[in-house]
Amino acid sequence: MKDKAGWNKYRKKRVSIAPKEAELLIESLTNSGDGLGRLDERVVFVPHTMPGDKVKIKITQRKKTYALAEVIELIEPSPDRIEPKCTYFAQCGGCDWQHVPYPLQLTAKVEQLKDTLQRIGGLGEISIQPIVSSDQPYGYRNRIQGEIRQSAFHYKRRRSDQRIAISRCEIAENPINEWLESDRGDSPTGRVEIALVDDQVVVLPINDNNSTELGFRQVNSHVSNLLTEKLLSIIEHSACKTIIDLYCGRGTWTNLIATNHPDKEIVGVDSSPDNIKTAKETAQMNKLNNVRFQQSTVEKTIRSLPVSSSLCIVDPPRAGLDGKVCESLIHSRPEELIYISCHPATLARDLKLFTEAGYIISSLIPLDMFPQTAHLESLVQLRAEPK
């Protein structure tokens, strides 16, 4: 899903139509992954560019207040520009910023997060902790999704439903690349996920819910471990005796919290029967007596849980929290709330609702789960102000 909110902030009054081809100076990076320039007061978004690039562009789409373009010629590169590592970078839609040095990627993500929180969330100045970087800017993904056609693995092209066949992905872990470079004659066809599970590569079909039998997992093991450490640290310092994981998935965090805190009551909620089955089996295997799981939607079960005296964890998809879930949480008013987000725009939207309802942001930690892309993970700790 493209983050159109990243473009909306540049909208002004309608201006005259820009020429089809023109020269452009790129001013900044956007949270949609593009470089941004201005042509006759019209904002133009250009992929695979960076601040300081002088480019000749071709307009591909004109909207009322902005335009999309592609590079015809790199007239004068930014002095900071580097050579992309991937041979497919100019065509593949997976990576945004392989031409941008990694320290500049981190800086851009923090700046965009601050801007999004202020513009969409109306949150003013927020103290943001230093971004958690990845120890591997390349070779970090433990799973990739694409399509197998005629034994070849394909990614989508940028801004297109067309596919591009690849035999190597520079941001994937080595075992996955070894599989991509091997003979795949017996591979399934259609949409698949190639994942590293217990040091073995598995290839699984993707279902209608855009998932597989493995369920959701973080793609970057190193940063995911750091995220888990920070989550556990917050819980360690919490006085709440009940921890409720409202989107617990297969119970990885839920069972880990129960293991670390035998004196607390731990509750996991998830709508997937398969996820809850796996979570319960793990809890039984580890003989955890202080954890229970409920298979239900959050909307249906939240009012039956002891939310008001609890610490609640929410880790929604990119679309953020459903409006009804926000309303239920605000009504139930948990003492503490941990919000884990993979999309700054929907995070800002939801934080606006919580802060207007009397919550204070105690800490906000950005984590670079997705190097070479514009995506950003965030861990936010909120607490309810006394009424």
Confidence check: pLDDT of 279 > 70? yes
User: Does 257 share its domain with 374?
Assistant: yes
CATH number of the domain at 34, please. Answer: 2.40.50.140
User: Does 201 share its domain with 273?
Assistant: no
- Distance set, CA 170 to CA 66, 86, 175 (Å): 32, 6, 12
Give the pLDDT of residue 15: 44
Which amino acid is residue 186, in one-letter code?
A: D
Weakest-pLDDT range from 32-46, 196-210, 215-229, 285-299: 196-210
Q: Is residue 169 in a domain? A: yes
Q: Is residue 215 in a domain? A: no
Give percent of the chain above pLDDT 90: 76
Q: Is residue 357 in a domain? A: yes
User: Does 376 share its domain with 228?
Assistant: yes
User: Does 260 share its domain with 365?
Assistant: yes
User: Does 129 share its domain with 148?
Assistant: no
Phi-psi label, residue 190: left if phi above 0, alpha if psi -120 to 50, beta otherwise: left
Confidence check: pLDDT of 235 > 70? yes
pLDDT, one tens digit per residue, over 302-319 is: 888 999 999 999 999 889
Give the pLDDT of residue 2: 44
Number of domains in the chain: 3
User: Does 261 share its domain with 363?
Assistant: yes
User: Does 312 share its domain with 197?
Assistant: no
Q: Is residue 297 in a domain? A: yes
Q: Is residue 93 in a domain? A: no
Confidence check: pLDDT of 12 > 70? no
User: Does 161 share its domain with 199?
Assistant: yes
- 77 against 301, higher pLDDT: 77
Q: Give the mean model confidence (pLDDT) for residues 328-349.
A: 95
User: Does 36 share its domain with 154?
Assistant: no
Q: Is residue 150 in a domain? A: yes
Instruction: Show the domain range for 167.
Output: 143-205
Residue 1's pLDDT band (cuts 50, 70, 90): very low
Last residue of a domain, one of 205, 239, 258: 205
Q: Give the mean model confidence (pLDDT) for residues 355-367.
A: 96
CATH number of the domain at 376, please. Answer: 3.40.50.150
Q: Is residue 100 in a domain? A: no
For 218, phi then psi, to 5°, come to: -70, 145
Confidence check: pLDDT of 296 > 70? yes
What's the pTM?
0.89
User: Does 183 share its domain with 126?
Assistant: no
User: Does 365 share its domain with 245?
Assistant: yes
Q: Is residue 157 in a domain? A: yes
Give the pLDDT of residue 209: 75
User: Does 241 share its domain with 336?
Assistant: yes
